[in-house]
Copies of this chain bind each other. A is one copy, B any other.
Amino acid sequence: MKKARANSTLSDVAKAAGVSASTASRALNGLAQKYRISEATEQLVKQSAERLGFRPSQVARSLRLQRTGLLGIVVPDLSNPFFSAIAREVTVAAGEEGFSAIIADSDGSVEKERELIEQMEARNVESLVVCPIGLDFAHLEAAASRGLPLVTVDRCQANSSLVQVTSDHLTGAHQAIELLIENGHQRIGILQGLHGTLPSERRLKGVREALAVAGIDYDQKLVAGDSFTQESGYCSARQLLTESPDLTALFAMSTPNAFGAFRAASELGRKIPENLSLICFDDVAFVEFMQVPLTTIAQNVPELGRRAALLATEQMQSGKSPRTKMHKVPIKLIQRASVGKVPPL
């Protein structure tokens, strides 16, 4: 490998051009006009910079300007398509606003989330987008009250003063159940996500509302599960389908939940959609290429990310928190093949 020649500095450029560092700085930062630097000098400086392959040190710049141009992202699992899609939107939106994104994976641990946020603060990120692991928000509130523009995405909290962006879970669940009912389903099993998280709670509320409208009793026996994972979906679907064989439909609160349900159903000899309907929240690209394409309540994931990034950068630029704290993004029911009419008995 070639010798790691240190990048040349501004004063190198200045020296090469035979001017002072200040002049060089001004010429390179497009302030020639303002300072009425002679055309000749300006060109000379620019050429020297070019020739030396000068790249200004962002570190020095950050220190001087007290602006890092860094935006932090913390997600619970970057290998989960839902979160990586959010991360993607945030990074590109940040990039468009002139920021670089620094990312970290909390691996589903509140403790790690806390540490990572500490680290990011130490790095002087100018704002932070976090998809919280979901239960404890104290450290987030703390960071925000320290003046760090922070926005949470997805797993929000109802009674929080944080800026939050999440889907319209209630309406989504309501529509899901409505669709099932329209198709004649009366006995509907619910595969629940992590208790205590807003998405899970709101979706459950949506379920109850839709059931109430249709005059169907909400049966606690028909809801199971406590995590958005595939394993949880599998176990609870198995349990529900075994204990209540008269179920004709399943509402899964996440795609992994739905995958689990799929497996359980096939093990128990139920065919989707022939004698079991399945609808789920979240819509990942793959879902449509399953042999039985899933009918889903699609969250507008890119929009979640984009909005979060925008709220974060705005907040940072204006220096004040937006009036609206809770930002709901609409969901969309996508009908594919996994919901069928209840078979006439």
Q: Which residues of A contact B (CB under 8 A)?
A: 1-5, 7, 53, 55-60, 62-63, 68, 70, 73, 77-79, 81, 84-85, 87-88, 91-92, 95, 100-105, 107, 118-124, 144-147, 230, 259, 262-263, 266, 284-286, 289-292, 319-321
B105 touches A88 (CB 8 A): yes
Smallest Cβ-Cβ distance to A4: which chain B residue: B147
A56 touches B122 (CB 8 A): yes
Given contacts A3-B147, A78-B87, A100-B119, 7 further A-B contacts (CB under 8 A): A4-B147, A55-B122, A92-B107, A230-B285, A263-B289, A286-B286, A289-B290
Chain B nearest CB from A339 CB (Å) reads 16
Residue pairs across A and B with Cβ atoms less than 8 A apart, 10 shown, are: A2-B145, A2-B147, A4-B147, A70-B102, A78-B84, A78-B88, A84-B84, A101-B103, A266-B291, A286-B286
Main secondary structure of the interface of A (DSSP, over half): mixed
Smallest Cβ-Cβ distance to A255: which chain B residue: B286
Chain B nearest CB from A272 CB (Å) reads 8
Chain B nearest CB from A256 CB (Å) reads 8
In the docked arrangement, what's the CA distance between A101 and B104, Å? 7
B320 touches A1 (CB 8 A): yes
Which of chain B's residues have a CB closer than 8 A to the CB of A100? 102, 104, 119-120, 123
Which of chain B's residues have a CB closer than 8 A to the CB of A291? 262, 266, 290-292
Which of chain B's residues have a CB closer than 8 A to the CB of A262? 289, 291
Smallest Cβ-Cβ distance to A292: which chain B residue: B291
A319 touches B4 (CB 8 A): yes
Which of chain B's residues have a CB closer than 8 A to the CB of A68? 59
Smallest Cβ-Cβ distance to A103: which chain B residue: B103
**Most chain B CB within a 10 A radius of its CB, from A77, A286, A291, A319:** A286
Which of chain B's residues have a CB closer than 8 A to the CB of A147? 1-5
A60 touches B57 (CB 8 A): no
B79 touches A85 (CB 8 A): yes
In the docked arrangement, what's the CA distance between A230 and B285, Å? 10
In the docked arrangement, what's the CA distance between A90 and B60, Å? 27
Chain B nearest CB from A296 CB (Å) reads 14
B104 touches A91 (CB 8 A): yes
Smallest Cβ-Cβ distance to A258: which chain B residue: B289
Smallest Cβ-Cβ distance to A301: which chain B residue: B79
Which of chain B's residues have a CB closer than 8 A to the CB of A263? 289
Which of chain B's residues have a CB closer than 8 A to the CB of A2? 145-147
Which of chain B's residues have a CB closer than 8 A to the CB of A266? 291
Residue from B56, B63, B84, B319 in contact with A79 in the complex, judged by beta carbons closer than 8 Å: B84
Which of chain B's residues have a CB closer than 8 A to the CB of A85? 79
**Most chain B CB within a 10 A radius of its CB, from A73, A77, A79:** A79
B1 touches A58 (CB 8 A): no
Which of chain B's residues have a CB closer than 8 A to the CB of A81? 79, 81, 84
B104 touches A102 (CB 8 A): no
Q: Which 4 A-B pairs have the closest CB atoms?
A: A4-B147, A84-B84, A291-B291, A78-B88
A122 touches B5 (CB 8 A): no
Which of chain B's residues have a CB closer than 8 A to the CB of A63? 57, 59-60, 63
Chain B nearest CB from A177 CB (Å) reads 24
A91 with B78, Cβ < 8 A, contacts A5-B147, A59-B62, A102-B100 known: yes
